[in-house]
A and B are shown apart, each in its own frame.
Chain A
Amino acid sequence: MPQPVIRASNLVKKYKDFAAVGGIDFEIAPGESFGFLGPNGAGKSTTMRMIGAVSTRTGGELEILGLDPDKYGPEVRSQLGVVPQQDNLDVDLRVRDNLIVYGRYFGLPTRTIAPRADELLGFAQLSDRAKARVEDLSGGMKRRLTIARALINDPKILLLDEPTTGLDPQARHILWDRLFRLKEQGTTLVLTTHYMDEAEQLCDRLVVVDKGSIMAEGSPADLIRRFSSREVLEVRFGGGRNEEVASQLGGIGDRHEVLPDRILVYSQDGEAELSRIHQLGLKPITSLVRRSSLEDVFLRLTGRSLIE
């Protein structure tokens, strides 16, 4: 791996006695797209705030572009683009002014920012909205403007905290496409998400985090291979019968998980397992065979679902 742009070792953040981040290690290479996958409260946002040099660590080491963010906050922040979990666009300013004013916070002259702002509005597909008011934009547009704003200082690293949470499917796909382009241009992306499809789409490599600790690390395909089977059969028996039926499924699939509403059977061949279940005389109300996903990895590692 080339020289990492971000390096954390035994990174800890405590609020009084509660350890939001309990000693994690990771390195992120330049141009890499790196994800933190975990449920709400896993410590993802806290980690992002420490990387973003707006939160000081309680223990361990952290280096961003070779600098300690606790000592060189402004220098580190000047090289980062930040897309926070909740949009904090300036609603008193028009769309294009949001970019210009934000660029000036970095001490950049208007003659540098103005052409860049127009270019970024094009990138965010908001050129025709330059003079619009922020409150008149849709959720997806606001998110794209927030990303454009985060790029105004030409950052080396872009931090995205839950970039598509709360967006409708179409808006999410447009956003993913934009982020994928940035990735292709070589921007280092660091993102948190609790959506496995987002992690699969965008991350070269990710860590699965839960309760402030890293449970596993690898590429999405690698994690699925290591912690899950090729396919998953989902069967529903309804009316609280899942638990009872599950006890009769011994020997079917590599293993199975019982969730409140369904049973997941892990296997190389989901269809074959389904016919075996039918042979036992069991009749699921619905059945579905799908590829394994990061959701299954998470379930395996923590015994819980990502979205609760």
Chain B
Amino acid sequence: MSVAAQPAAASSKVLGDLYARNAKSVMWRGYTATKTNTYLVIVSGFFEPVFYLLSMGIGLGALVGTVATTTGQEVPYAAFIAPALLAVSAMNGAVYDSTWNVFFKMNYAKLYEGMLATSLGPLDVALGEISLALARGALYAAGFMAVMQALGLNLAWSAILALPAVVLIAFGFAAVGMAITSYLKTFQQMDWINFFMLPMFLFSATFYPITVYPEPIQWIVQALPLWHGVELVRGLTTGALSTALLGHALYYVVMIAVGLVVTTRRLRHVFLD
């Protein structure tokens, strides 16, 4: 066969066989699958944080009164926990989509095996799956923010920026979640993810200021990703804008980068050995 048959364009592609610029076909698959199956799962994801907000924010809030944010601003208890719940729901949705869903598709449905037998590359699969999780997360976030607005819990104009912030948070968790999942082989290992998530949800300055902890504990909490998400969203909805918010956002940018690199490598290793 002649050498001239080699396509010239292929050798100049930066990402080589990792990316075919067709992540949208993977998203479209997810959209079609969702449309084919029940909407119920989608709806339940919206109500969970709303129930938390009503029971704790309104109920418990009547006993608590006001709470001081990181910048010292006194806000009603409901306005204190609402942004945290928003960050938590972004985390939960992204982690569920990128761990349990991905685990099943990788190991049981053999979905990725089929995708990677086509001209798709592993980065198309990773980006497509994660983008879909983000679209869903953004939908929940928009719904929840509407509830916050109705209850008067958005205290500043910057609250609108919480929406892209939530997508950023979800992106970070989804990228890292998918990377971790690609290493896991059994359902028992998957349980470790829940084991890590629940305490993070409860102790990341979600329901009370971080200052209640002794300093060493504060360091641990500040090292974990959810605290950065909670602080970022809370800063935006309460209007406590500072450069610290940029630091929190950067934390997620790093998560996204590391997560995508590891996920792409792993998918390549597992399916294109």
Spell out A's residues near B (CB within 8 Å): 3-4, 7, 52, 54-56, 63, 65-67, 71-75, 77-78, 80, 82, 84, 86, 88-94, 97, 100-102, 104-107, 153
CB of A119 to closest CB in B, whole Å = 19
Chain A binder among B24-32, B159-167, B245-253: B24-32
8 Å CB contact of A97 from B6, B22, B36, B114: B36
Contact of B273 among A55, A86, A100, A104 (CB under 8 A): A55
- Let me know if A73 and B32 touch, CB within 8 A: no
Residues 1-31 (chain B) with a chain A CB within 8 angstroms: 1-2, 5-7, 10-11, 17, 20, 22, 25-26, 28-29
Total interface residues in chain B, CB < 8 Å: 33
B80-88, B105-113, B170-178, B230-238 - interface stretch: B105-113
Is B137 at the interface (CB under 8 A from chain A)? Answer: no
Residue of B29, B113, B121 touching A101 (CB-CB under 8 A): B29
Inter-chain residue pair count (beta carbon < 8 A)? 101
The answer to whether A73 touches B17, judged by C-beta atoms less than 8 angstroms apart, is yes
Known contacts A93-B32, A101-B25, A105-B118; can you find 6 more A-B pairs with CB under 8 A? A55-B273, A56-B272, A77-B119, A84-B113, A101-B28, A107-B20
**Given A52-B117, A101-B29, A93-B36 contact (CB < 8 Å):** yes
Instruction: Return chain A residues, CB-CB under 8 Å to B256.
Output: none
B122 to chain A, nearest CB (A): 10
- In the complex, 12 of the A-B residue pairs with CB atoms within 8 angstroms, ordered by the A residue number, are A54-B117, A54-B272, A66-B2, A71-B11, A73-B17, A73-B121, A89-B114, A90-B33, A94-B36, A105-B115, A107-B20, A153-B118
Chain B residue contacts of A7, Cβ below 8 A: 1
* A-B complex: 6 closest residue pairs judged by Cβ atoms: A88-B110, A92-B33, A66-B1, A66-B5, A105-B118, A73-B17
A162 to nearest B CB, angstroms? 15
Interface residues of B (CB under 8 A from A): 1-2, 5-7, 10-11, 17, 20, 22, 25-26, 28-29, 32-33, 36-37, 109-111, 113-121, 271-273
Which residues from A are CB-within-8-Å of B22? 104-105, 107
Task: Tell me the bound Cα distance from A71 to B9 in angstroms.
Answer: 12
Taking a contact as CB atoms under 8 Å apart, the answer to whether B5 and A67 are in contact is: yes
Whole-angstrom distance between the alpha carbons of A173 and B20 in the complex?
A: 38
The answer, among B1, B6, B111, for a CB contact under 8 Å with A88, is B111
Which residues from A are CB-within-8-Å of B7?
Answer: 67, 72, 75
Task: Please tell me if the beta carbons of A107 and B111 are within 8 angstroms of each other in the complex.
Answer: no
Which residue from chain A places its CB closest to the CB of B4 in the assembled complex? Answer: A66
Give the chain B neighbours of A52 by CB distance below 8 A. Answer: 117
What's the least CB distance linking B125 to chain A, in Å?
A: 9
List, in ascending order, chain A residues with CB within 8 A of B110's CB.
84, 86, 88
User: A71 — which chain B residues lie within 8 A by C-beta?
Assistant: 10-11
Bound-state Cα–Cα, A71 to B6, Å: 10
With CB as the reference atom, state the residue of chain B lying closest to A97: B32
Residues of B within 8 A of A104 (CB): 22, 25, 28-29
Taking A82-B117, A88-B110 as contacts, is the C-beta distance between A93 and B29 under 8 angstroms?
A: yes
